[in-house]
Amino acid sequence: MLITNDQEPVTTIAEPPRRIVGLRPNQLSVYHHPARFRVVVAGRRFGKSQLALVEMLRAAATPNSRIWYVGPSYDQAKRILWDRLKAITRPHWAGKPSETELTVRMNTGSQISLRGTDRPDSIRGNGLDFAVMDEYASMHPSAWSKVLRPALSDRLGRALFLGTPQGSNHFYDLYKKALADPQWGTFQFTTSQGGNVPPEELASAAIDLDPESFRQEFEAAFTSAAMNRVYYGFDPVSNVQAVQYDPYIPLVWSLDFNINPMCMLLMQRSDDTVYVLDEIIIKPDANTELACQAFHKRARALNPNRMQVEIYGDASGNQRRTSSVNTDWTIIKNFLGQFPTLYHPTFHLPKANPAVRDRINCVNTRLRNTAGDARLFVDPKCRELIKDLEQVSWALDANDRPSSNIDKSDGDRTHSSDALGYYVSEAFPMRGSVGPNASGRIV
Ligand SMILES: Nc1ncnc2c1ncn2[C@@H]1O[C@H](COP(=O)(O)OP(=O)(O)O)[C@@H](O)[C@H]1O
Ligand SMILES: [Mg+2]
């Protein structure tokens, strides 16, 4: 029989053995489900990765088992789980874990290894007894069918899929198929059903996020609005209006470095509201010098006096550019430095760009929060930005499902909205207070 979230959490199971006492009731209902293949669709911080750890520990108790934890990328798998895996397995080690192979050898002869689908060779092999696929919605869809499923065949290995919905992509397909197949166990849990995030923190996250994002990220819903349009929070009626420059507050200059086109936005911020005053598009042969001159001209037209300029933008390299990011930022610094009586610049660059999905969530949240309020206004003359917000969409996969990659087939699209995202995600990062060990950001 399938256990779904329509039923009460399992409360009748006997007191579990000591080492799984740490799982909460809904995690336990997955843990005790006998199906060979199980799918858990759950909100952020439900406790999916924690469940993965305890499941792997149990599998390792069977002598000479081979167990894999697979994430979308090797680096992500390492970041999410390696320290936690070592901590939970330490009493059972046969020797020191291998830091190069991300493998723990246990005194039962079993091995637990971390893998990433971005390194297809690392997930080839056979003789697997148990595979956990974490953040499955962000993985390449063929990793399971082409590589991992066959690896489980010879030893009739088990598999556990964990993830938070991401539109109606391959994770949705897998979940739907599993629902119809009595051989599979299926579960759907909200973040709150995990018991790790207090209700008041969840409530404040709800106010901070747009409704679609909240339903997807915290209520584990396969939302339809999130399906194809990237900036689904955008509504021309509420988000487009004439914006006035205010000489008493800093001017924000955000850049997406490209050769064709280079896009820059001039913005201002008042409390938690963003005003996009103007956009500057340079094509077909942009460079950072030209960008500086164009900025200078517009900035002078706005305000002939000395102004404070906050600079934001792309923090990482990009194959469509010729120079390095550091060179670009140095050119800008030197350019503005020539006019100490006109500009007081400050640079606001993250060490690395945020994940694309987080950047987009931040923009959607500014466009419309759960209460329905717009906190981002775009002047009608920003034509390319408005087109981006209306048209940028997710690329479709082989089954015509939205993938987790943005459709870049139209070379004019995505650049203005990228410039907007660099600013918004840095100035208004996702709320960081959710969850017991939360630090800085929600993810
Ligand atoms: N059963 C549990 N008991 C105590 N803390 C837990 C439990 N499950 C998860 N947590 C904690 O809750 C937080 C979120 O868990 P995690 O497994 O990372 O969630 P997810 O992978 O669903 O985002 C982590 O800090 C984790 O240590
Ligand atoms: Mg996790």
Question: Nearest bound ligand to CA 88?
Answer: 1
Q: Pick the more confident residue, 13 or 224.
A: 224
Question: Nearest bound ligand to CA 71?
Answer: 2
Residues whose CB falls within 8 Å of the CB of residue 1, separated by 6 or more in sequence, listed in order = none
Ligand 1 neighbours (beta carbon < 6 A): 22-24, 27, 42, 44-50, 196, 435-437
Q: In what order do the strands lie in the sheet with 376-378?
A: 343-347, 307-313, 251-256, 262-270, 273-282, 376-378
Out of 255-264, 302-311, 338-347, least confident range: 255-264
Report CA(86)–ligand 2 centroid distance (Å): 16
- Which amino acid does the sequence have at 139? M
pLDDT of residue 401: 67
Nearest CA to ligand 1 atom 4: 22
Tokens of residue 391, six digits: 């048209």
Report CA(302)–ligand 2 centroid distance (Å): 47
Q: At what angle do helices 415-427 and 356-367 cross, to 10 degrees?
A: 80
pLDDT of residue 258: 82
Nearest residue to 136 via CA among 204, 189, 69, 184: 69
- Looking at residues 94-112, what average pLDDT do you find? 97
Nearest CA to ligand 1 atom 5: 196
Is pLDDT above 70 for 332? yes
Residue 154 burial by CB count (10 A; 0-12/13-18/19+): exposed, middle or buried? exposed
d(CA 37, CA 326): 48
Which atom number of ligand 1 is nearest to the Cα of residue 134?
21
pTM of the model: 0.61
d(CA 128, CA 131): 7
Nearest CA to ligand 1 atom 3: 22
Task: From 41, 49, 50, 79, give the residue whose CB has the most ligand 1 atoms within 8 Å, as the site to mutate.
Answer: 50
Is pLDDT above 50 for 373? yes
Which atom number of ligand 1 is nearest to the Cα of residue 435?
13
Nearest CA to ligand 1 atom 10: 47
pLDDT of residue 437: 37
pLDDT band at 292 (very low <50, low <70, confident <90, very high): very high
Q: Which residues of 65-96 are buried (b: 16+ CB within 10 A; e: fewer)?
A: bbbbbbbbbbebbbebbbeebbebbeebeeee
pLDDT band at 322 (very low <50, low <70, confident <90, very high): low
- pLDDT tens per residue, range 184-200: 999 999 999 999 999 99
Q: Number of C-alpha atoms within 13 angstroms, CB side, residue 401?
A: 17
pLDDT of residue 16: 38
Task: From 196, 217, 433, give the residue whose CB has the most ligand 1 atoms within 8 Å, as the site to mutate.
Answer: 196
Report CA(51)–ligand 2 centroid distance (Å): 9
Q: Which residues of 308-323 are buried (b: 16+ CB within 10 A; e: fewer)?
A: ebbbbbbeeeeeebee
- pLDDT tens per residue, range 60-92: 999 999 999 999 999 999 999 999 999 999 999
Nearest CA to ligand 1 atom 27: 50
H or E stretch covering 419: helix 415-427
Question: Nearest bound ligand to CA 42?
Answer: 1
Residue 358 burial by CB count (10 A; 0-12/13-18/19+): exposed, middle or buried? middle
Out of 23-37, 159-173, 327-341, least confident range: 159-173
Look at strands 158-163 and 66-71 and give their pairing: unpaired
DSSP label at 351? Answer: S
d(CA 368, CA 207): 10
For residue 220, is it left (φ>0), alpha (ψ between -120 and 50) or beta? left
What the chain holds in terms of domains, given with CATH numbers, is: 18-219 (3.40.50.300), 236-427 (3.30.420.280)
Nearest residue to 261 via CA among 393, 391, 360, 383: 383
- Looking at residues 217-232, what average pLDDT do you find? 80
Nearest CA to ligand 1 atom 17: 47
Report CA(50)–ligand 2 centroid distance (Å): 7
- Residue 13 · residue 165 · CB < 8 Å: no
Report CA(163)–ligand 2 centroid distance (Å): 8
Tokens of residue 364, six digits: 């959607």
Nearest CA to ligand 1 atom 9: 47
Nearest CA to ligand 1 atom 8: 47
Report CA(51)–ligand 1 centroid distance (Å): 8
Question: Nearest bound ligand to CA 197?
Answer: 1
Q: How far is CA 202 from CA 25, 395, 431, in A?
A: 20, 31, 10
Report CA(138)–ligand 1 centroid distance (Å): 19
Report CA(194)–ligand 1 centroid distance (Å): 8
Is pLDDT above 60 for 44? yes
Which atom number of ligand 1 is nearest to the Cα of residue 164?
22
Average pLDDT of the chain, as a whole number = 87
Q: What are phi and psi of 148, to 5 degrees?
A: -80, -40
Report CA(48)–ligand 1 centroid distance (Å): 7
pLDDT band at 333 (very low <50, low <70, confident <90, very high): very high
Report CA(136)–ligand 2 centroid distance (Å): 10
Is pLDDT above 80 for 8? no
Question: Nearest bound ligand to CA 220?
Answer: 1
Residues whose CB falls within 8 Å of the CB of residue 112, separated by 6 or more in sequence, listed in order = 56, 60, 67, 68, 69, 85, 89, 103, 104, 106
Is pLDDT above 60 for 441? no
